Amino acid sequence: MRIKVVNPNTTASMTAKIGECARAVSGQGVIVDAVSPSSGPVSIESHHDEAMCAPGVVREVLSGEVEGYDGYVIACFGDPGLLAAREVAAGPVVGIAEAAMRTAAYLGRSFSVVTTLERTIGHTRDIARSYGVSDLCAGVHACEIPVVELDSDPTARGKILVACRSALVADGSDVVVLGCAGMADLCDWLSGELDVPVVDGVAAAVLTVEQLVRLGLGTSKRGEFATPPMKEHVGS
Ligand code: 2AL
Mean pLDDT of the 189-193 span: 97
CA of 6 from ligand 1 middle (Å) equals 13
Q: State pLDDT tens for residues 47-58.
A: 999 999 999 999
- The pLDDT of 116-145, averaged and rounded, is 98
pLDDT of residue 144: 96
Banded model confidence at residue 230, pLDDT cuts 50, 70, 90: confident
CB 228 within 8 A of CB 87: yes
Protein residue with its CA nearest to atom 8 in ligand 1: 180
| 53 CA → ligand 1 middle, Å | 12
pLDDT digits (tens, 9 = 90+) for 169-182: 999 999 999 999 99
- Residue 120, pLDDT above cutoff 80: yes
**Extended strands (E) in 18-132:** 31-35, 71-74, 93-95, 111-115
- Protein residue with its CA nearest to atom 9 in ligand 1: 180
Q: Give the Cα separation of 122 and 128 in Å (integer).
A: 10
Enclosing H/E stretch for 5: strand 2-6
CA angle 161, 167, 169 (to 5 degrees): 110
Question: Relative to the CA of 9, which ligand 1 atom is closest?
Answer: 6
Chain-wide mean pLDDT for the chain?
97
For residue 236, the model assigns a pLDDT of: 76
Least confident of 63-77, 197-211, 221-235: 221-235
Tell me: the pLDDT tens digits for 5-44? 999 999 999 999 999 999 999 999 999 999 999 999 999 9
pLDDT tens, residue by residue, 129-142: 999 999 999 999 99
Q: Which atom of ligand 1 is nearest to the CA of 76?
A: 3
Backbone conformation region of residue 49, classed left if phi is above 0, alpha if psi is from -120 to 50, else beta? alpha
Residue type for 115, please? T
Contacts of 192 (CB under 8 A, 6+ apart): none
Q: Mutate which of 5, 43, 82 to test ligand 1's pocket (most atoms within 8 Å of Cβ)? A: 43
Q: Which candidate, 19, 30, 10, places its Cα nearest to that of 80? A: 10
Task: For the full predicted model, state whether its pTM sits above 0.85.
Answer: yes
User: Count of H helices and E strands in the chain?
Assistant: 8, 8
Give the number of the atom of ligand 1 that is nearest the alpha carbon of residue 75.
Answer: 3
